[in-house]
Structure 1
Amino acid sequence: MSDKAVRPALTYQMTDIRYRAGASDWQLDGGDHTMLIVTGGDGRIVIDGAGFKLERGKCFIAAPDMTGSVLPDRDGLTLYELAFELRRNAESQLPSSGVSPAGDRFPILCEAACAPFSQCIELVEAIYDNRHAGDGLEPFYNHVRFLELLRFIFQQNGSAAAGGKSLRQQVESSIEQVRRHYSEPWTVERLAAAADVPRGQYTRMFKAITGQIPLDYLNGIRLDRAKQLLLMTDDRLFEIAQHVGYANEYYFGRRFKQSVGISPGQYRRNHRDNVRVVAPFLEDFLLALGITPVVQCSYAGWGKQDYLGLDEVPVFDLTADSLETLSRHRPDLIMTDGGFDRWMTSDRCNRLAPTYQLSHRGEDWRSMLRTVAELFGKKEAARSVIAAYEDKASAARALLSRPLRGQTVACLRISAAQICIYAGAEHGYTGPILYGDLGLRPHPLVLQLTGHARRIPLTREWLARLDTDHLFVAFDKSESAVEGQERERLRDDPVWRALPAVRNRCVYEVDFFSWMNYGVISHGRKIDDVLRVLA
Structure 2
Amino acid sequence: MDKHFVQTQKNDALLLAPGAHASIQFISQPEETSTASESALQLDSAAVIVIFFRIYQLGETLPSNDSVSMIPYETRMHITDESRLLDLVESLNSSLKLSSLIEESRLKQQIPLQELLLFLMENIRRNTETSDNIQAVKQTVAYIESHYKENITARQLYSIAGVAKWQYSNLFQSLTGKRPLDYVLDIRLKHAKRLLLHTDDTLAQIAHSVGFKDENYFSRKFKQTEGITPRQFAEASSVTSSSFVKEIPYKRIVAIGYSLGDLLSLGVTPVGADVETIGKRGLYWDAIKEVEDIGLLGEPAKIRELRPDLIVHTGFRQDWVDELTSIAPMVLIDRYEPVYSRIMQLAELLNRKKLADQWIYRHRTASKQMWRTLAKHVDVKQTATVFSVVEGNLYVIGLKGFGVTVYHPDGMQPPPKVKELMQAGIPFQLTRPEYARAYEADIHFILMDNDPRTIRLYKELMQSPYWNSKNTGQIIVSKNKYNFDDPLTMDKLLLEFPQMVLKKSYNQTHFL
TM-score clears 0.5: no
Q: TM-score, normalised by structure 1?
A: 0.42
- Greater gyration radius: 1
Higher relative CO (CA 8 A, sep ≥ 6), structure 1 or 2? 2
Q: TM-score, normalised by structure 2?
A: 0.44
Give the strand-richer structure, 1 or 2.
Answer: 1
